[in-house]
Structure 1
Amino acid sequence: MTPFKKVLLFCHRWLGFISGLVVFIVSITGCIFCFQDEIQDAIHHHRTVQNTGKPYVQPSQLINEVKKAYPGASSDFIYYYGAERPAAVYANLGKDIYELVYLNPYTGKITYHEKLQTNFFVIVEYIHLYLLLPPAIGKWVVGVSVIIFMVIMITGLILWWPKRKSDRKRSFTIKWGGRWRRINYDLHNVLGFYATSIAIILSITGLAIAFEPVSKAIYNTANVGRNIKYEDEVTEPKSDSLKRAGLANKPVVDIAFAYARQQSPGAEMFLIHNDPALSGAIGVGAYPTSMRYAGASGYEFDKYNGKLLKTYAYDKKSPGLKLNEMNYDIHVGQIGGLTTKIIAFLASLICASLPITGFIIWLGKRKKSKSKGKKVRDAVHHKTHRRTVQASSF
């Protein structure tokens, strides 16, 4: 082994020791989270409703129903998930207590409610993002470990890559008929090779969720450094609370929803941000596919008179902004439907296995090195003893 590869092996091994446990936890929770929508749909009947073909009830009606059940709660977000899915209101009860209240979008009646803190997949997501540590600390522990893991994947690829073309075919397959140590070795190297490209994509998109500079770097790279004036202007329009002349004659949240539906008739899902702050605006996101967050158009309205403040039309967005808005769908594997979900699931499972198989390889080499050293010492002692006996016989 060349000195360069010896340095790489040292880095690969010790960086693996440093980040291995975190990588395992983050990968296995990511694995579980990949199919969270499908699993929850299968076990929770409240996540589906019968499509009656009638118009949706107004957002204001959903808000009123929630306020009857939870007096004093603010309805920060309203969701219309799709024609065969319930509407939902994210109710802020204060003191960091939240309820997600599900309602029938055709009748406005409450069908189910849950505390998000007790949802299994919300807990899994929190572990994935923060390891159940305070977010300010946890995101850095996870983020640094993910960066280290990317370095490990690259160094591992360099170390493993076969020199001779004749060895490559054998190197790309697992020798299932070999001894268990050989199978473990192949599982670490071969599966690691196949998962590297997907793992790096998942790592970068995960870092972009946690760290704004990474998201900004992706934005600038996709835009080839161009400054997009349309997107750099006021990104969060605000209502003027001092000028309330011309107040709307109906709830602004209903005006906003109706306008978004008219401008985005093909959208299946709508997310309404009903900002409770005095200076805030009401925003509506229109998403072309239910439970997918890419390809959205957005609309912002004055919360007092319903005046349209800004439109974020999808076809006018820059490549960088479009890519950033795809980030979540890419990270969880749903960007291409079931196929990419399976790919993300398998890649995450492989990533979770790498610290384990790598540790077994290191343990085996360590034991082998000790055993070899013992044999050499025994051989030297045996030869020395024989010479001593022979010398004493004269």
Structure 2
Amino acid sequence: MTPFKKVLLFCHRWLGFISGLVVFIVSITGCIFCFQDEIQDAIHDHRHVTVQSAPYKQPSELISAVKTAYPNASPDFIYYFGKGRPAAVYANQGKDGFEFIYLNPYTAQITYHEKLETNFFIVVEYIHLYLLLPPAIGKWVVGVAVIIFMAIMVTGLILWWPKRKSDRKRSFTIKWGGRWRRVNYDLHNVLGFYATSIAIILAISGLAIAFKPVSKAIYDAANIGRDITYDEEVTEPKSDSLKRAGLAKQPVVDIAFAHARQQAPEAQMFLIHNDPALSGAIGVGAYAKSMHYSHATGFEFDKYNGKLLKSYIYDKKSPGLKLIEMNYDIHVGQIGGLTTKIIAFLASLICASLPITGFIIWLGKRKKAKSKATKVRGAVHHKTHRRVVQAS
């Protein structure tokens, strides 16, 4: 082994020790989360409603139903998940925490409610994002571990890559008929090779979700040569409280929802931001596919008079903004449907296995080195003993 590869092996091994446990936890929770929508749809009746010919109830009617049941609630977000799915209101109840309230979108009847911290997949998501640590600390622990893991994947690829072309064919397959240590070695190296590109994509998309500078870097890279800045394109407008003259004759959330449905008639899902505690405008996003968060068209309205302040038409967005809005769908593997979900699931599962198979390889080499050292000491002792006996 060359001195360069010895250094790489040292870095690969010790970086693995440093990040291994976090990488395992993050990978296995990501693996579980991949199919959370499908699993929850299968086991929870409240995620389905009977499609009716009647139009959706207005957002203000959903808010009114929630306020009647929860007088102290502040309805921050309103969701229309699509035909055959319920609407939902994410309500802030102050000291009582947040409540996710499901309603029939055709009748405004409350069908189910839950605190998100009691939802198994939300807990899995928080472990994935923060390891259940305070978010400000947890995201850095996870972020640093993910960056280290990307370095490990690259060093592992360099260390594993066969020198001779004749060796490459057998290096790309697992020798299932070999001894278990050989199979473990191949599981670590061969599966690691196949998962590397997908794992790095998942890692970068995750970092972009957690850290704004990473998201901006992706935005800038995709927009090279374009005269547009991140802040210019994504900064949300503010409602002007000094211009309350001419208040809207109907609730602004209803105006926003109606406008979005008119401008994006093919959209399947709508998300309305209605946080009354903030000075920001009321925003509504129209999403092309239910439960997918890319390919969105958005609008911002003055929350006092209902005036349209800004539009985010999907076809007019820059490539950079389109790309970073795909981060979630890329990260969970749903960007290309079931096929990419399965790929993301398998890649996450392999990533979870790598710290384990790598540790087993290290243990095996350590035991082998100790055994070799013991044999050498025994041989030296035997030769010395023979010389002493012969001399006497």
Q: TM-score range by the shorter chain?
A: over 0.9
Q: Which secondary structure state, in structure 2, belongs to the residue aligned with residue 374 of structure 1? A: helix
The amino acid that maps onto 2:168 is R
Matches within 5 A, 1:339-378: 339-378=339-378
Alignment deviations for residues 299-352 of structure 1 (CA, whole Å, 9 cap, x no partner): 111111111111110011000000000000000000000000000000000000
**Residues of 2 paired with 1:229 and 1:316: CA distance?**
14
**Secondary structure of 1:361 counterpart:** helix
Counterpart position of 1:52: 52
Aligned length: 392
CA deviations 1:180-204 (Å, max 9, x no partner) are: 0000000000000000000000100
Instruction: Give the distance between the partners of 2:313 and 2:215, measured in 1 at CA.
Output: 20
When structure 1 is superposed on structure 2, of 83-92 and 95-104 the one drifting more is 95-104
Separation in 2, partners of 1:326, 1:195: 21
Post-superposition offset of 1:385: 1.0
CA distance in 1, matches of 2:80, 2:169: 51
Cα displacement (A) at 1:253: 0.7
Q: Tell me the alpha carbon deviations over residues 245-296 of structure 1, each in whole angstroms, 9 at most, x when there is no partner.
A: 1111111111110010000000000000012135221100000100000000
Question: Which residues of structure 2 form unaligned runs of 5+?
Answer: none
| Letter of the structure 2 residue corresponding to residue 28 of structure 1 | I
The CA distance in 2 between the partners of 1:266 and 1:170, in whole Å, is 50
SS of 2:326's equivalent in the other structure is: helix
User: What is the rounded CA distance, in whole Å, between the counterparts of 1:285 and 1:49 in structure 2?
Assistant: 22
Counterpart in the other structure of 1:12: 12
Instruction: Give the AA of the match of 1:355.
Output: P
Quick one: structure 1 residues 234 and 338, their matched pair in 2 at CA, closer, same or farther if it must change by over 3 Å? closer
1:219 aligns with 2:219: yes
SS of 2:311's partner is strand
Give the AA of the match of 1:56. Y
Give the SS at the match of 1:100: strand
* Aligned residue number for residue 262 of structure 2: 262
- Tell me what 1:286 maps to: 286
The CA distance in 1 between the partners of 2:249 and 2:366, in whole Å, is: 77
SS at match of 1:320: helix
For residues 123-147 of structure 1, the C-alpha deviation after alignment (integer angstroms, 9 at most, x for no partner) is 0000000001111111110000000
Q: Which amino acid aligns with 1:385?
A: H
Indicate conservation of the 8 Å contact 2:219/2:230, yes or no: no
Q: Describe the SS at the equivalent of 2:336.
A: coil
Secondary structure of 1:95's aligned partner: helix
Distance change (3 Å), C-alpha of 1:253 and 1:379 = same
Q: Distance in 2 between matches of 1:47 and 1:102?
A: 8
In structure 1, the residue matched to 2:323 is 323
Q: Residue type matched to 2:323 in 1?
A: L
- In structure 1, C-alpha distance between the alignment counterparts of 2:169 and 2:230, rounded to whole Å: 51
Shift of 1:226: 3.1
The alignment yields a C-alpha RMSD, in angstroms, of: 1.1
1:85 match: 85
Residues 1-394 of structure 1 mapped to structure 2, 5 A cutoff: 1-95=1-95, 97-224=97-224, 226-228=226-228, 232=232, 235-277=235-277, 279-392=279-392
The AA in structure 2 aligned to 1:98 is: F
State the distance in 2 between where 1:117 and 1:96 align: 12
Q: Is the 8 A contact 1:100 1:113 kept in 2?
A: yes
Query: CA separation in 1, counterparts of 2:274 and 2:193?
Result: 47
Q: Give the match's secondary structure for 2:132.
A: coil
Partners of 1:378 and 1:279 in 2: how far apart? Answer: 79
Distance 1:54 1:231, change over 3 A: farther
Do the aligned partners of 1:238 and 1:281 also contact (CA within 8 Å) in 2? yes
* Native 8 Å contact 1:12 1:155 kept in 2: yes
Would the aligned equivalents of 1:220 and 1:226 in 2 still touch at CA under 8 Å? no
Gaps of 5+ in 1: none
Q: Equivalents in 2 of 1:47, 1:339: separation in Å? A: 23
Q: Aligned AA for 1:336?
A: G
Tell me if structure 1 keeps the 8 A contact 2:30–2:348. Answer: yes
Distance 2:229 2:362 in 1: 53
Q: TM-score, normalised on structure 1?
A: 0.98
Distance 1:272 1:89 in 2: 10
For residue 290 of structure 2, give the secondary structure of its aligned residue in structure 1: coil
Secondary structure of 1:55's aligned partner:
coil
Q: C-alpha deviations, 1:50-78, integer Å up to 9, x for none? A: 11122101000000000011002110000
3-state SS in 1 of match to 2:93 = strand
1:283 aligned counterpart, secondary structure: strand
- Quote the sequence identity (%): 84
**Corresponding letter in the other structure for 1:352:** A
**Would you say the 8 A contact 1:28–1:348 is kept in 2?**
yes
SS at match of 1:75: strand
- String of CA shifts for 1:95-135, please: whole Å, max 9, x gaps: 37000000000111000000001111110000000001111
SS in structure 1 at match of 2:335: coil
